Structure 1
């Protein structure tokens, strides 16, 4: 299956396309980017959609060097400030586990939570409300220089 390498210019184009898909269908009051991969597109979307409230969340699957079974939120956004329409952003919907955990957490205070990703893998447990490209390949973004060595 191989790698799908995304260049910096392709990343920017994809963020523009994603913003266009979102613009007329959803008006977010804030954006929450999933770290680390979702932080870059979250910043792009914040700018392109004119959404000033931008927060981050970090989710880990690892305990030491071993991958755990369930995702664990290691850095929460300020949940008391997250209200209204929330756009949850990640770079790729792979297993969907991270998106499930974070979306459930955000739904406690939000009016509505919608999910946006650059890539969507068909086996994901979550189909994003907005995505640019469907793929089965391992996606490597320009900010992931160590991914090729795994």
Structure 2
């Protein structure tokens, strides 16, 4: 649900899963065949996992981080992992790079450049996200929702950004 002022988008688990399914449809309808899904942790892990199951493709993971300050609401320096975790040795062939959104576009742009420069076994690389914000400098190959007002997206699992083990223990009276 988008707030009236367009500054906040609240997404339920049901809506989130529907959006990932719509992303799967867009990818499928494009006719492009891929060998591996590479998700960017953390935001791309959930959609990457779901897409991996739907398309029955192996899931590789690359960690990136830029939203660390203020419970994950402020973007800072981008860190990109040196290694990719994949069940098939080295990542190669046609790769679908998945993240949750293209916000500023900086993360996707940097990762795509790094992959093209450092992973010659990747023969074709395309990108998929749930949301693309109007301020994004990067346009993914596949995206479900375009958000021209650039709202802050409140994803259903963000409650855990502020929850610590003491909170969980108190909740469950352990």
Output the TM-score relative to the length of structure 2: 0.75
Output the TM-score relative to the length of structure 1: 0.86
Q: Which residue, out of 61, 64, 67, partners 2:66?
A: 61
User: In the alignment, what sits opposite 2:3?
Assistant: none
Q: How does 1:20-31 map to 2 (within 5 A)?
A: 20-25=25-30, 26-31=32-37
Secondary structure, counterpart of 1:81 in structure 2 = coil
Q: Which residue, out of 120, 143, 147, partners 2:132?
A: 120
> Aligned-residue CA RMSD in angstroms?
2.6
Q: Which protein shows a greater Rg?
A: 2
**Is residue 40 from structure 1 mapped to residue 46 from structure 2 by the alignment?**
yes
User: In the alignment, what sits opposite 2:84?
Assistant: 77
Structure 2 segments unaligned to the other structure (5+ residues): 1-5, 163-174
Which consecutive aligned stretches of 4+ in structure 1 deviate over 2 angstroms post-superposition? Answer: 60-69, 105-109
Structure 1 segments unaligned to the other structure (5+ residues): none
Name whichever structure is richer in strand by fraction: 1
User: In the alignment, what sits opposite 2:22?
Assistant: 17
Name whichever structure is richer in helix by fraction: 2
Distance in structure 1 (CA, Å) of the matches to 2:135 and 2:75 = 19
Distance in structure 2 (CA, Å) of the matches to 1:59 and 1:68 = 12
